[in-house]
Amino acid sequence: MTSNPCIHWLGAGLSSGPGIAALARRRGNVVLWNRTGEKARALVQTIGADEGLSVETLDFERLADRVAAGDVVVSMLPGAFHVRVAKLAIAADAHMVTTSYLNPEMMALDGEARAKGLVVLNEVGVDPGIDHLFAQVLVDAARTAGQLAGGHAVSFQSHCGGVPAVANDFRYKFSWAPLGVLTALRNPARSIRDGVELRTEKAWTGVEDIDVLGETFEVYPNRDSLGYVAEYGLADVADLQLFVRGTLRLPGWKAAWADIFAAVEGGTDASLAALSERLWRDYSYAPGEQDRVVLYVSLESRDAAGGSWKASLSLDETGTGWQTAMARTVSLTAQVAIGAVLDGRLKPGVQAATRDPQEAKRWLAQLVDDGINIDAENVSLQ
């Protein structure tokens, strides 16, 4: 292994700048790989982090030649590339990190990664990412307080959304290609409501109002929440009344998107691609326009005598330029995770963000140092 492992960051998109700058400052030896070298060099010039940071035009054969044992390869490319990048990293005896959701294709690499002592780390952005860290801290606090024992009805909710800081007629703006948002609307979702499983076939049929952080938002269930019951350490709770991971939107979003839902329901791959291009043209962020990321995670327990306990963790960030709220919350979390990999604090294998509440607190403390404001109710981050 090299004495100063190289961090190969793939992708100079809108969610990369703050994390790259932090890594160049803290770790050095960062190479930014991008399909368009000019775009990567423009980002480096914008963030002013040229020390400890170099740029290469992305070519997978050249990348494979450059990656050495002990390096970390970070994929901020479209999701279809992540497994390819992971295989390249493992072949070079290097670690791999991505902010995207873990999937079965990636999990199939677990045995090989473990055998080589390598970490293939997923879900280390904001959602998924910081939401997982919040959940681990809250569940640990509840368990320590005896709030997950028999006789307690437990409710857990985690809601996150990236929205325009100033509402527009569409009630939304896109930080990256809209196609991913459109196709995700087709995904069915599972959650627990009133103690029983609830399945939502289409995202927009599950929209409801929710009051968090002193505001009313619209929220719909995000994918399959039930897979995270065990991940968050709640599989042994006898009376789990509510468990849902949701996507937050501004009030009025469902009405503003009525035509979009109809297009998604009856659309083809080609028609959705065309719609994505139009939406990007009409509703992407303008230069200097502020975005906003809201994340709220809470856990509540009630006993048979009517007593209650509740704790929550939340953030509400705004930003602009190369330091948008989405870029900061996603890429700064990734750079914290990369540090954990390089420092040997994670076990080998394919995995999502840490399950260890103390390690989660350590990640959150660094995010606070990096300027992310986290509000804690009835729970300590120390």
**Rounded Cα gap, residues 350 and 11, in angstroms:** 21
In whole angstroms, how far apart are CA 350 and each of 103, 345, 355?
10, 14, 13
DSSP state, residue 251: T
The pLDDT, as a whole number, for residue 51 is 81
The pLDDT, as a whole number, for residue 292 is 98
Burial, 56: exposed, middle or buried (Cβ in 10 Å; 0-12, 13-18, 19+)?
A: middle
Residues tagged active-site: 127
**Rounded Cα gap, residues 20 and 97, in angstroms:** 13
Number of other residues whose CB lies within 10 A of the CB of residue 245: 26
Radius of gyration for the alpha carbons in the chain, expressed in angstroms and rounded: 21
Which residues share a beta bridge with 323? 320
Cα dihedral 29/118/131/240 (nearest 10): -170
Burial, 286: exposed, middle or buried (Cβ in 10 Å; 0-12, 13-18, 19+)?
A: exposed
The pLDDT, as a whole number, for residue 131 is 98
The pLDDT, as a whole number, for residue 1 is 42
Give the pLDDT of the chain (382 residues) as one tens digit per residue: 446 899 999 999 889 999 999 999 999 999 999 999 899 999 999 988 778 899 999 999 999 999 999 999 999 999 999 999 999 999 999 999 999 999 999 999 999 999 999 999 999 999 999 999 999 999 999 999 999 998 999 999 999 999 999 999 999 999 888 998 999 898 899 999 999 999 999 989 999 999 999 999 999 999 899 999 999 999 999 999 999 999 999 999 999 999 999 999 999 999 999 999 999 999 999 989 999 999 999 999 999 999 999 999 999 999 999 999 999 999 999 999 999 999 999 999 999 999 999 999 999 999 999 999 999 999 999 9
| Peptide linkage before 221 cis (omega within 30 of 0) | no
Q: Where are the beta strands (DSSP E) in the chain?
A: 7-10, 30-34, 53-57, 72-75, 95-98, 119-121, 152-164, 189-193, 196-200, 208-212, 215-221, 239-249, 291-303, 308-319, 349-351, 375-377
Amino acid at 258: A
The pLDDT, as a whole number, for residue 14 is 84
In whole angstroms, how far apart are CA 325 and each of 17, 92, 173, 181, 232?
11, 34, 13, 18, 26
Please name which of 339, 300, 332, 302 lies closest in space to residue 315, comparing C-alpha atoms.
332
Its pTM stands at: 0.96
